[in-house]
A and B are shown apart, each in its own frame.
Chain A
Amino acid sequence: GENVGLHLPTLSVQEGDNSIINCAYSNSASDYFIWYKQESGKGPQFIIDIRSNMDKRQGQRVTVLLNKTVKHLSLQIAATQPGDSAVYFCAENRGGADGLTFGKGTHLIIQP
């Protein structure tokens, strides 16, 4: 399943399929990007990050892709599991002391 930008806040995928969550960031000067996972009733948890001098980074079952030309970030989750159900946020660091700026979030729902 694939979410197109931030206009589809809910993404539903079958268990075992791959998920792709997309994010359009706003500031071309941003140099650091993070994907967070927020489960119901909990705080956001770090999944994976990437710096602007890279275009791809892989973790365990997750891959982040960065396209600076079009200011686009994506999170790919391989072999989606029920425990992956959560809201996923992209966040960008615009530099300085402003902390992270978060996108709107995508709710990932896993169908059995």
Chain B
Amino acid sequence: DTAVSQTPKYLVTQMGNDKSIKCEQNLGHDTMYWYKQDSKKFLKIMFSYNNKELIINETVPNRFSPKSPDKAHLNLHINSLELGDSAVYFCASSGPGGELFFGEGSRLTVL
């Protein structure tokens, strides 16, 4: 009965490919996020969606595009993958109090 679930957990792919990571939350939260964690464990916000509207778009390449079919889902699509995209990507959601609930992460390795 996972609150925030994301798939796949591991993703290994070649440079130039396009890939997607899916995220679903069953907490009824209005806002969902994508964070990127680099090799030094630094967590940086990439996007957030509130009621299907993009409200933050940090300075990430436009090869990254979040897609939200409904309030419970926020998927991350990445085009033309580069070596520097290798990282762990975390989906999260937040309720009115502001506390974030994270998924287990998706480790992306670009070869």
Shortest distance between the CB of A95 and any CB in chain B (Å)? 9
Asked if residues B105 and A42 are in contact (CB atoms below 8 Å), the reply is yes
Residue B33 contacts which of A45, A99, A104 (CB distance < 8 angstroms)?
A99
Q: Does A83 contact B (CB under 8 A)?
A: no
A2 and B45 CA atoms in complex are apart in Å by 28
A45 and B105 CA atoms in complex are apart in Å by 12
User: Interface extent on A, as a size class?
Assistant: 20 to 34
Residue A99 contacts which of B41, B42, B45, B104 (CB distance < 8 angstroms)?
B45
Asked if residues B48 and A97 are in contact (CB atoms below 8 Å), the reply is yes
A89-B43, A105-B42 as given contacts; A99 in contact with B94, CB under 8 Å: yes
A36 and B41 CA atoms in complex are apart in Å by 13
Q: Does B27 contact A (CB under 8 A)?
A: no
Asked if residues A98 and B45 are in contact (CB atoms below 8 Å), the reply is yes
Q: Does A59 contact B (CB under 8 A)?
A: no
Shortest distance between the CB of A31 and any CB in chain B (Å)? 9
Residues of A within 8 A of B35 (CB): 102
Residues of A within 8 A of B92 (CB): 43
For the A-B complex with A32-B98, A43-B4, A100-B45 known, give 19 more contacts whose Cβ atoms are closer than 8 Å. A36-B102, A41-B104, A43-B90, A43-B103, A43-B105, A44-B43, A46-B100, A46-B101, A89-B43, A91-B100, A93-B98, A98-B45, A99-B33, A99-B45, A99-B100, A100-B98, A102-B42, A105-B41, A105-B43
A:66-112 near B, CB below 8 Å = 87, 89, 91, 93, 97-102, 104-105, 107
Q: Does B99 contact A (CB under 8 A)?
A: yes
Shortest distance between the CB of A51 and any CB in chain B (Å)? 9
Residue B100 contacts which of A87, A100, A105 (CB distance < 8 angstroms)?
A100
Residues of B within 8 A of A98 (CB): 45, 56
